[in-house]
Amino acid sequence: MRRLFAALALGLAATGALAQAWPTKPVTMIVPFPPGGSTDMIARAVLPKMQEKIGTFIVDNRAGAGGAIGAAAVKNAKPDGYTVLVSSLGPFVIGPHLLKGTSGYDPTKDFDYVTVAVQAPNIRAVRADSPYKTFADFMKFLKANPDKMTFASAGNGTSDHLTAELLWQETKTKGTHIPYKGGAPALTDLLGGQVDATFMNINTGMPHVKGGKIRALAITSDKRSPLMPELPTFGEAGLPGFVVYGWYGVVVPAGTPRDVIDRLNADIAAALAHPDVLKSLDAFGLDPADRNSPEAFGEFLRSEITRWAQVVKVSGAKVD
């Protein structure tokens, strides 16, 4: 028995030493969307401070299938702390409903949750030269011309896609959804006149609004943003209760050592609290989220899955 307990003690000590030694090589931070979009921007804003705290991080953009390709890659990675997923809510709580068992992962079983890092409302955006000067103009055309207005999104199953579906449900209207492989190409085609409108996070759209390239018509927050105080909420524009926040979470493959998860959680929180990072986030309308423990993230994710499952069911939205 003494030998057995000694062996167990040595094993536990070795496990603890491995956890304490982490990382001994670069950590891959998978972003399931192309460079230049909101998720990529957030990952790269936090990365320098994470590298100061932990070590080398490498951002790996793996776009496609509304984020499912990148998410599945993390699910299939070794749970040793060297693969991390940073993603918007779409792959976690929307995409799996659209893909109906073919996403390659189960967000409730295949990941260990680290933190919800930041959140931001969406804006309804059109080109600066669009004939829609106000949200009322926009809705008047949409109601009179079913399926005539094109809506760009970062891909099937992303928050901007399902926010559009939610808008159509609540206003009994319908537009034509045009999915892209990320927010950056969707924005490019909006600016180029290939599509009429989009939902986008305030952090992505605000620089282009201020630069005179796009026009924001309304914001999905429950109150006006201090960054764009002139922009009415959807409630003020005539749709009370239409509140949607995009959020960005960090997960690792299921089975990752808890010591590694706790360290990632603490160091991400420290990075988000750093004045330089806060300044960057604030400039783009992003706020650190309050569901920042692994347990709070898990509970929040399950509630979001329920909410968006209903939107997908009613809309009949499918992956092309």
Domain at 169, CATH number: 3.40.190.10
Mean pLDDT of 43-56: 92
Whether residue 49 sits in one domain with residue 100: yes
| Rounded Cα distance, 58 and 71, in Å | 16
pTM of the full structure: 0.76
| Rounded Cα distance, 151 and 198, in Å | 5
Write down the pLDDT at residue 239.
93
Mean pLDDT of 114-142: 95
**Higher pLDDT pick, 131 / 13:** 131
With respect to residue 1, please indicate whether it lies within any of the assigned structural domains: no
Full domain range(s) for residue 260: 23-120+246-315
Q: Find the range with the poorest average confidence among 104-108, 157-161, 290-294.
A: 157-161
Write down the pLDDT at residue 18.
47
With respect to residue 11, please indicate whether it lies within any of the assigned structural domains: no
Whether residue 167 sits in one domain with residue 129: yes
Residues 6+ apart with CB under 8 A from 192: none
Whether residue 209 sits in one domain with residue 136: yes
Q: Which of 201, 219, 237 is the last residue of a domain?
A: 219
Tokens found for residue 268? 């991400």
**Tens-digit pLDDT profile for residues 157-176:** 777 888 999 999 999 999 99
Whether residue 125 sits in one domain with residue 212: yes
Q: Which helix (H) or strand (E) holds 74?
A: helix 68-75
With respect to residue 13, please indicate whether it lies within any of the assigned structural domains: no
Q: Which of 219, 254, 274 is the last residue of a domain?
A: 219
Whether residue 199 sits in one domain with residue 57: no
Write down the pLDDT at residue 160.
87
**Tens-digit pLDDT profile for residues 182-237:** 888 999 999 999 999 999 988 788 889 999 999 999 999 989 988 899 999 999 99
| CATH number where 276 lies | 3.40.190.150
With respect to residue 310, please indicate whether it lies within any of the assigned structural domains: yes
Whether residue 113 sits in one domain with residue 30: yes
Nearest residue to 165 via CA among 299, 56, 316: 316
Angle 155-67-174 from CA coordinates, rounded to 5°: 25
With respect to residue 241, please indicate whether it lies within any of the assigned structural domains: no
Whether residue 173 sits in one domain with residue 110: no
263 beta partners: none
Whether residue 178 sits in one domain with residue 141: yes
What is the domain count for the chain?
A: 2
With respect to residue 264, please indicate whether it lies within any of the assigned structural domains: yes
Whether residue 135 sits in one domain with residue 214: yes
Whether residue 101 sits in one domain with residue 159: no
Whether residue 139 sits in one domain with residue 116: no
C-beta atoms surrounding 238 within 10 Å: 13
Cα-Cα-Cα-Cα dihedral of 67, 71, 73, 79, to 10°? Answer: 160
Q: Is the pLDDT of residue 77 over 80?
A: yes
Whether residue 212 sits in one domain with residue 284: no
Write down the pLDDT at residue 3.
52
With respect to residue 67, please indicate whether it lies within any of the assigned structural domains: yes
Amino acid type, 304: E
Tell me the pLDDT band of 12, cut-offs 50, 70 and 90: very low
**Tens-digit pLDDT profile for residues 311-320:** 888 877 766 5
With respect to residue 4, please indicate whether it lies within any of the assigned structural domains: no
Contact 183, 229 (CB under 8 A): no
